[in-house]
């Protein structure tokens, strides 16, 4: 009897060890522990409002560098400021089975339908540079409000707290709303600074040049002291129009930190300031979020990347990213 019990015990023990080994093998095959079911990032779609602006080319370059480093495929499209085109690009990304879509919206509200389509297909959408309606998982952008505040503070200080200002506005996207709000908040502290004209330069140099020409023709010498352009192409377009009209009594401030703006700050006091963004870092942060999402981790809904003021004081040491 004693020998029989010993044999039965040995059999039960071997069965238990085999079961544990099988369970361990299954965990190893599925990734095991908390990472079970996680998915490797293999394909990312990025649609930007335009690739005519070097700022968004920096997005493209940064994503392609991340793709090479992390081993995923990067699909990059330019919407050319066309909402319908961007909608079509999102649908194309869905059909190609991307793991995540990064969207730099042409219109923050108008793109909601495209975002909803991606979400319905089970594809997370991360907004970059500007917010987007429709159910994005997260947003990664520059601190655009801070950019507007810094531009306003520089302008107010250089004006000595008194003067007439033109605001060259932009498209209906959250980043521009924030830059305008920050700027207006900063100059509101100075009751003797007045905004005498506000028009949409559509975020590009040529349109802003034309808009500024019209503003100058309606406001003779002595009626404008400074101009705020909501991005560098806008500010540069206005600046070039003023130079062509020999209106050297005013100065310009912008947002981006582009190489063109840096060059103008170095050589001409008329272009005084830009709030420098870091587009490469925005994409790096977006890819970190994408990897965390696929791993089933919780992510922040908004990540703000700080901007840096650039003027004559530090332009010689600042290195632009685009």
In a shared domain, residues 83 and 200:
no
pLDDT for 187 beyond 50: yes
Average pLDDT, the chain: 90
Residue range 32-60: mean pLDDT, rounded = 82
**What's the CATH number where 166 sits?**
3.40.50.2300
**Overall number of domains in the chain:** 2
pLDDT for 228 beyond 90: yes
pLDDT of residue 95: 98
In a shared domain, residues 218 and 271:
yes
d(CA 89, CA 91): 5
Residue range 265-290: mean pLDDT, rounded = 97
In a shared domain, residues 154 and 271:
yes
In a shared domain, residues 126 and 173:
no
Q: Is residue 176 part of a domain?
A: yes
Full domain range(s) for residue 238: 144-276
In a shared domain, residues 272 and 288:
no
In a shared domain, residues 150 and 265:
yes
> In degrees rounded to 5, what are phi and psi of residue 198?
-140, 115
Q: Are 226 and 199 in contact (CB under 8 A)?
A: no
To 10 degrees, what angle do helices 259-267 and 232-244 make?
40
pLDDT of residue 156: 98
pLDDT of residue 30: 34
Q: Are 129 and 304 in contact (CB under 8 A)?
A: no
Q: Is residue 83 part of a domain?
A: yes
Domain boundary pick from 276, 295, 317:
276
The string of pLDDT tens digits covering residues 119-144 is 999 999 999 999 999 999 999 999 99
The string of pLDDT tens digits covering residues 239-259 is 999 999 999 999 999 999 999
Q: Is residue 13 part of a domain?
A: no
pLDDT of residue 182: 98
pLDDT band at 34 (very low <50, low <70, confident <90, very high): very low
d(CA 24, CA 2): 34
pLDDT of residue 11: 38
Q: Is residue 22 part of a domain?
A: no
Q: Is residue 55 part of a domain?
A: yes
pLDDT of residue 248: 96
- 139 SS3 class: strand
pLDDT of residue 230: 98
Q: Is residue 35 part of a domain?
A: no
Range with the poorest average pLDDT among 9-18, 46-55, 155-164, 310-319: 9-18
Q: Is residue 312 part of a domain?
A: no
In a shared domain, residues 94 and 218:
no
**CA dihedral of 215, 217, 220, 224, whole degrees rounded to 10:** 10
pLDDT of residue 54: 87
In a shared domain, residues 162 and 256:
yes
Q: Is residue 21 part of a domain?
A: no
pLDDT for 41 beyond 60: yes
In a shared domain, residues 117 and 84:
yes
Q: Are 180 and 149 in contact (CB under 8 A)?
A: no
pLDDT of residue 24: 41
In a shared domain, residues 132 and 49:
yes
Rounded to two decimals, the pTM is 0.82
pLDDT of residue 205: 96
Distant-in-sequence, close-in-space partners of 23: CB < 8 Å, separation ≥ 6: none
In a shared domain, residues 53 and 104:
yes
In a shared domain, residues 89 and 166:
no
The string of pLDDT tens digits covering residues 78-113 is 999 999 999 999 999 999 999 999 999 999 999 999
pLDDT for 146 beyond 80: yes
Query: Assign residue 32 a region: left if phi > 0, alpha if psi is -120 to 50, beta otherwise?
Result: left
Residue range 9-13: mean pLDDT, rounded = 39
Helix (H) or strand (E) holding 174: helix 174-187
């Amino acid at each position: 009897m004693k020998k029989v019990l010993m044999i039965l015990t040995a059999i039960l023990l071997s069965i238990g060890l085999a079961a544990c080994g099988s369970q361990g093998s299954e965990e190893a095959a599925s990734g095991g522990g908390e990472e079970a079911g996680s998915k490797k990032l293999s394909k990312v779609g990025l649609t930007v409002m335009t690739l005519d602006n070097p700022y968004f080319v920096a997005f493209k370059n940064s994503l392609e560098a991340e793709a090479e480093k992390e081993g995923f495929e990067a699909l990059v499209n330019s919407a050319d400021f066309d909402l319908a085109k961007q909608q079509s690009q999102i649908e194309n990304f869905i059909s190609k089975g991307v793991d995540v879509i990064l969207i730099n919206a042409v219109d923050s509200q108008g793109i909601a339908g495209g975002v909803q389509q991606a979400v319905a297909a089970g594809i997370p959408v991360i907004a970059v540079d500007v917010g987007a309606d429709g159910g994005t998982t997260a947003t990664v952008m520059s601190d655009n409000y801070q950019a507007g505040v810094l531009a306003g503070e520089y302008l107010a200080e250089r004006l000595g707290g008194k003067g007439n200002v033109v605001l060259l506005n932009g498209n209906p996207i959250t980043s521009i709303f924030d830059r305008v709000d920050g700027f207006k908040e900063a100059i509101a502290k100075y009751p003797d600074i007045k905004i005498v004209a506000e028009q949409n330069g559509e975020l590009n140099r040529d349109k802003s040049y034309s808009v500024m020409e019209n503003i100058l023709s309606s406001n003779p010498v002595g009626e404008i002291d400074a101009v705020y352009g909501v991005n560098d192409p806008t500010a540069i377009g206005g600046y070039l129009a003023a130079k062509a009209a020999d209106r050297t009594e005013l100065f310009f401030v912008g947002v981006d930190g582009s190489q063109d703006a840096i060059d103008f700050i170095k050589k001409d006091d008329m272009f005084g300031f830009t709030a420098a963004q870091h587009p490469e870092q925005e994409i790096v942060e977006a890819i970190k979020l994408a990897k965390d999402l696929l791993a089933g981790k919780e992510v922040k809904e908004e990540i703000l990347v700080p901007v840096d003021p650039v003027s004559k004081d530090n332009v010689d040491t600042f290195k632009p990213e685009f």
